[in-house]
Structure 1
Amino acid sequence: MSIILIADSGSTKAEWCLINGKTKKSIETQGISPYFLTATQIQEIIEKELLPKMKKVQPDKIFFYGTGCSSAANKQQVAGALKKVFGKVSISVDHDLMAAARALCGKEKGIACILGTGSNSCYFNGRSIAKNSPGIGFILGDEGSGAYLGKKVVQYYMYNTFDPDLMDRFNAKFNTSPPEILDAVYRQPLPNRYLASFVPFLIENRGHYMIENIIEDAFNDFFFNHIYKYSESWKMPIHFVGSVAYGFKDILKEMCHMYELQLGQVIKRPMDGLVKFHRER
């Protein structure tokens, strides 16, 4: 029986699952995104954070699903790094949206949405991604994502929109300043991760009308700009995966009810669904 290594990588973290017969071993590393990392940096992450935990087990097949792996160039970059580490094994690199579709829909039709550090969506016809709303990155888009929500938190802070109570809570939690925030966003690496790090502030202060407005506005933007663009949205279940989706699933349920849409699964991570999918194949 083949030894399979499956990876599901976002910008912030990557989850790996090593399948050897009936046994599974889960390993976590930092996220691997070809948009922000070179092939050499990807190779270093795999060698330093993954290999030691695999304990010299050599996979026969590798299925890597990752953010940014939609273009041929980015797929080649990740595949090249994997080949340098693992040698001549069967390697398949695909977009994290395909991971979401396969984990959420299996072989059924449906709308698959990612709400994590970034956001994305597609109509999955049971075999392939038939339609995909354009992904234009966290600066121009990523509505409903952790980066998008975090940007709203930062805006409320820097524009002094938060009421005095929320401003005190923000300062107590983050102990930062406008110059530090501007430096982190415009000069430091991985600004999308940095912005997403403000999402826990929203979770901890649920119930405050300003917090609820930020969350609802962000998800409304996602529904309007993405889900509404698929004619299939009114015929198929709408599934969600990602830490943001899972953390705010009550809002997603309300949104689907309001828009007269059928809410499907809301899961935190796609790995269990991916393991099931590849074992059945």
Structure 2
Amino acid sequence: MILIADSGSSKTSWTLVKEKQIISRFESEGYNPCYNSREQITRSLQNSLPEGYDWEDISLVAFYGAGCYEDKYEVIEDALRPLFPNASFDIAMDLLASARALLGHEPGFAAILGTGTNSCLYDGEKIIHNVDSMGFLLGDEGSGAYMGKRLIRDFIRGHMPDDIRNHFYNTYRLSPDELIGGVYSDPMPNRYCASFTHFLSNEQMTKQPYIENVIRECFRDFFKNIVIFYPNYSAYTFNCVGSLGWVFNGTLTLIADEFGMKTGRIIKDPMQGLINFHQIYP
């Protein structure tokens, strides 16, 4: 059996495969080896494993997650080995998961557009170039957190049209002071800001010029500050994993075209692509 994990900040999605068939999907807490000890990970996952399977039969665990830098591989492997003693381990960053899911063994450009952003050039085996998104405080252009910050800022400064500003207030019932307090006091301010992107996809908002302009400008910032700094970037197709890119794929395609990039694959999550990459299906 093969076990594939896609680990984010809040949860890890697991897929168990036997003889090329998916036999179980389950979730656990999110694991980041920069913040979680091996003991914490082992204990948490042990409580999340579904009953009825012989976990000693696992031959491969492919674990992809934020914080899985090379010097942290050992933390993940040491945490998982007591639970899967006969497995080999393929541990990598979430960015490599996205590249593998989008491109398989083919070279190309891959991006993540979700709560945060990341991107790379991939040679079919490994990441060969990465323009640092610099995270929530300094960058993350095009992300949900970036768009959420834009909405909060426009609301507080009165840059929204009055009808949209009223609708924003009626939706969240938060004053400017409360919004600022939320950004600066929430333990995960990136997720706090990203939560407001639901406003952008609200059915009452999707046809509003202001809303469309916010989405376009945030995606343009992603291209202007990150994508165009890849060598010969326009020679690649634009491929993307993530809820934000998937929800706003039409606008994203238009902006990619503005910058001379044809759009390839835009998918919501990487799991099916990872299943294909690990040759679970013929």
The verdict on how the C-alpha distance between 1:97 and 1:179 changes in structure 2, with shifts beyond 3 A counting, is: same
| Separation (CA, whole Å) in 1 of partners of 2:144 and 2:44 | 23
Normalised to the residue count of structure 1, the TM-score between the two structures is: 0.88
The verdict on how the C-alpha distance between 1:166 and 1:232 changes in structure 2, with shifts beyond 3 A counting, is: same
Report the AA paired with residue 253 of structure 1: T
Gapped runs of 5+ residues in structure 1? none
Deviation of 1:239 after TM superposition, in Å, equals: 0.5
Contact 1:66 1:95 in 2 (8 A): yes
Query: Are 1:270 and 2:264 an aligned pair?
Result: no
Query: Are 1:70 and 2:69 an aligned pair?
Result: yes
| Separation (CA, whole Å) in 2 of partners of 1:44 and 1:211 | 44
Alignment of 1:8-87 (within 5 A): 8-24=6-22, 25-34=24-33, 37=36, 39=38, 41-48=40-47, 50-51=48-49, 53=50, 55-58=52-55, 59-70=58-69, 72-73=71-72, 75-83=73-81, 85-87=83-85
Q: Which residue of 2 aligns with 1:151?
A: 149
Contact 1:36 1:190 in 2 (8 A): no
Alignment of 1:195-274 (within 5 A): 195-204=193-202, 205-274=205-274
Q: Which residue of 1 aligns with 2:140?
A: 142
Contact 1:239 1:265 in 2 (8 A): yes
| Separation (CA, whole Å) in 2 of partners of 1:179 and 1:88 | 54
Query: Are 1:130 and 2:142 an aligned pair?
Result: no
The verdict on how the C-alpha distance between 1:45 and 1:214 changes in structure 2, with shifts beyond 3 A counting, is: farther
Report the AA paired with residue 141 of structure 1: G
Contact 2:21 2:280 in 1 (8 A): no
Bigger mean CA deviation after superposition, 174-183 or 225-234: 174-183
Deviation of 1:71 after TM superposition, in Å, equals: 5.0
| Separation (CA, whole Å) in 1 of partners of 2:143 and 2:54 | 36
Find the residue that maps to 1:121 and give its secondary structure: strand
Deviation of 1:35 after TM superposition, in Å, equals: 5.0
| Separation (CA, whole Å) in 1 of partners of 2:214 and 2:42 | 38
Contact 1:10 1:117 in 2 (8 A): no
Percent identity reads 37
Report the AA paired with residue 179 of structure 2: I
| Separation (CA, whole Å) in 2 of partners of 1:139 and 1:84 | 37
Deviation of 1:280 after TM superposition, in Å, equals: 5.9
Deviation of 1:121 after TM superposition, in Å, equals: 0.5
Normalised to the residue count of structure 2, the TM-score between the two structures is: 0.88
Bigger mean CA deviation after superposition, 22-31 or 268-277: 22-31
Deviation of 1:132 after TM superposition, in Å, equals: 0.9
| Separation (CA, whole Å) in 2 of partners of 1:154 and 1:54 | 45
Bigger mean CA deviation after superposition, 271-280 or 227-236: 227-236
Q: Which residue of 1 aligns with 2:192?
A: 194
| Separation (CA, whole Å) in 1 of partners of 2:181 and 2:84 | 38
| Separation (CA, whole Å) in 2 of partners of 1:237 and 1:110 | 7
Report the AA paired with residue 45 of structure 2: I
Find the residue that maps to 1:117 and give its secondary structure: coil
Report the AA paired with residue 101 of structure 1: A
Contact 2:142 2:221 in 1 (8 A): yes
Contact 1:7 1:16 in 2 (8 A): yes
Number of positions where the alignment pairs a residue of Structure 1 with one of Structure 2: 276
Contact 1:123 1:232 in 2 (8 A): no
Contact 2:133 2:226 in 1 (8 A): no
Deviation of 1:238 after TM superposition, in Å, equals: 1.5
The verdict on how the C-alpha distance between 1:12 and 1:201 changes in structure 2, with shifts beyond 3 A counting, is: farther
RMSD: 2.3
Report the AA paired with residue 250 of structure 1: G
Contact 2:113 2:143 in 1 (8 A): yes
